[in-house]
Amino acid sequence: MNDLVRLGSYPIIFGITAFAQLLLIEAGISHWPYAILVAGAGISAVAILERVLPYEPSWNLDHEDTLPDILHATFSLGFIFASVEIAEIIRVLVPFSKVWPNTLPLWAQVFVAGLIIDFGLWLMHWLSHKNDYLWKLHALHHSAERLYWLNGERRHPLSALLLAGPGTLLAIFLGAPAEVVGCWYTIIAVHLAFQHSNLDYTVGPLRNILGVAEIHRWHHKKEYEDSQVNFGEFWMIWDQLFRTFHHTVNGVKKGEVGMREKMPTTYLKQIAWPFRRTTSVKKHG
């Protein structure tokens, strides 16, 4: 049973939910509520399997973070699930070109949009670690002292918009249909649950090209200088290309994630934290 969960959870759960999302878009079925229900089922499966085969048992315990993370996820997942409507609005407001490969099958268009959006996310993620103002917003995501299915959405709203904005706008400007953009984001919602999960799973050699948990945990190392790796949201090809990829056999354990600076434990204080005059974020020392 453990081997089935360890080896099969990602390809089975992510594969089924991604395939179902593509079927919905191919059939022209309304994004709401069916795509959300499919994604919700996939995310729920990850949460359940964490209890079956946890990577770090202590990370299944509340660290005074569950309620704030639920509130963060409400915004972040709401943004993801509303991506079709948001893309439709942007297409009305922003002129878009005719270069999009509309003759490709819809699944291929989703793949192309995903590459564009994912590179935008990688670049903005990398910049969020290099620029002090962006880091203050992004630091909330790194303040988690455990990794589990829910805190993939632990993001400051402004950081979430800045991360997703450039790649999404570029895809739409190039002519990507709203349903294609929305399909990619809904698929990614399930991947993010896996990426931050406390589930002891592996994808084997595919870890070199997919941003799964065993790779992404290194990005959440408490020491800032050690966390400048594995920025990829879905694909690790950008980290491979720009030499920010890192993986070793000895994984990250309890007490090794988070950041040196202490983050408030309540949602509203976390949202206000980057704007406090006394806020400082220790990157070194």
Can you give the pLDDT at residue 285? 36
The owner of tokens 């904005």 is 165
pLDDT tens, position by position, 191-204: 999 999 999 999 99
Domain boundaries, the chain: 2-275
Which of the residues in the chain have pLDDT under 50? 284-285
Can you give the pLDDT at residue 276? 87
Residue 153 burial class via C-beta count within 10 angstroms: exposed 0-12, middle 13-18, buried 19 and up: buried
Can you give the pLDDT at residue 231? 98
Can you give the pLDDT at residue 95? 83
pLDDT tens, position by position, 11-67: 999 999 999 999 999 999 988 899 999 999 999 999 999 999 999 999 999 999 999
Can you give the pLDDT at residue 4? 97
Distance of CA 147 to the CA centre of its chain: 13
For residues 239 and 230, the answer to whether their CB atoms sit within 8 Å is yes
CA triplet 210, 212, 216: central angle to 5 degrees?
Answer: 110
Core vs surface per residue 114-151: b (16+ CB within 10 A) or e:
bbbbbbbbbbbbbbbbeeeebbbbbbbbbbbbbbbbbb
Can you give the pLDDT at residue 281? 62
Can you give the pLDDT at residue 38? 96
Alpha helices in the chain (DSSP H): 2-9, 15-27, 31-52, 66-81, 83-93, 106-130, 132-142, 157-173, 178-195, 213-216, 237-241, 267-272
pTM of the entire predicted model: 0.95
CA distance 95 to 213: 38
